[in-house]
């Protein structure tokens, strides 16, 4: 199968509000795909529906041929995910937190964790409550990539990152793509997706 994500006529309503409206798109395996749209356009809703974190109103989503609702546990097992509202456990050193999260996967080596943290200039010895917004975002990026999963889903990943760190982050994503990973990321800023650049950009407004 050559498709990583297939979304067909996705609609999600919250009462009278449509957070996603008849959205269809396909992300191929090994593609770096950017989902572009303004705040409130339904990007986060789409991502959460892909992972089975919310129930669709209508439509179908498959991830590597698995149903987003029925097979959500298995889908999350093969997915590295950065949510838009990533939170940190307080009063822990960053390295300890990341190693704990990594221990929940099948990966035993800290090598990738340490490498990405170094490239993003993230201090693993700082405590979580001492971190700036940009450094909290770096923690989220590291945890999404460190377990070496097949699919990487990133919701507004560049928020709070300075331009030099953003460029290093994009370099990391291109390396992940070259290694055969599929990357699906959202943004409301066109420049951030163009500078990646993703293999495809879908606008949903």
| Exposed/middle/buried for residue 29 (C-beta within 10 Å: 0-12, 13-18, 19+) | middle
Structure tokens given for 188: 């409301």
pLDDT tens by residue, 73-128: 999 999 999 998 888 988 899 999 999 999 998 888 999 999 999 999 999 999 99
Helix axes 163-178, 133-145, angle to 10 degrees: 10
Strands 66-67 and 58-63: antiparallel
For residues 130 and 161, the answer to whether their CB atoms sit within 8 Å is: no
CA distance 55 to 68: 9
Closest CA to 145 of 80, 68, 199, 190: 80
Domains, the chain, with CATH or none: 3-203 (3.40.50.300)
pLDDT at residue 146 is higher than 60:
yes
Q: What is the pLDDT of residue 51?
A: 96
């Amino acid at each position: 199968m050559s498709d990583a994500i297939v979304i067909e006529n996705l609609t999600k309503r919250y009462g009278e509000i449509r957070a996603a409206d008849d959205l269809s798109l396909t992300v191929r395996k090994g593609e770096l795909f950017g989902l572009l749209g303004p705040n409130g356009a339904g990007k986060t809703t789409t991502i959460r529906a892909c992972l089975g974190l919310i129930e669709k109103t209508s439509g179908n989503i498959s991830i590597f041929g698995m149903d987003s609702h029925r097979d959500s546990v298995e889908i999350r097992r093969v997915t590295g995910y950065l949510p838009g509202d990533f939170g940190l456990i307080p009063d822990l050193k960053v390295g300890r937190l990341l190693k704990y999260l990594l221990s929940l996967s099948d990966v035993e080596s800290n090598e990738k964790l340490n490498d990405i943290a170094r490239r993003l200039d993230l201090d693993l010895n700082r405590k979580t409550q001492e971190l700036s917004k940009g450094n909290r975002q770096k923690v989220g990026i590291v945890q999404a990539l460190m377990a070496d999963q097949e699919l990487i889903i990133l919701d507004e990943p560049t928020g709070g990152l300075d331009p030099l760190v953003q460029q290093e982050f994009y370099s990391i994503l291109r390396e992940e793509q070259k290694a055969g990973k599929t990357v699906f990321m959202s943004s409301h800023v066109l420049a951030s997706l163009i500078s990646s650049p993703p293999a495809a950009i879908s606008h949903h407004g």
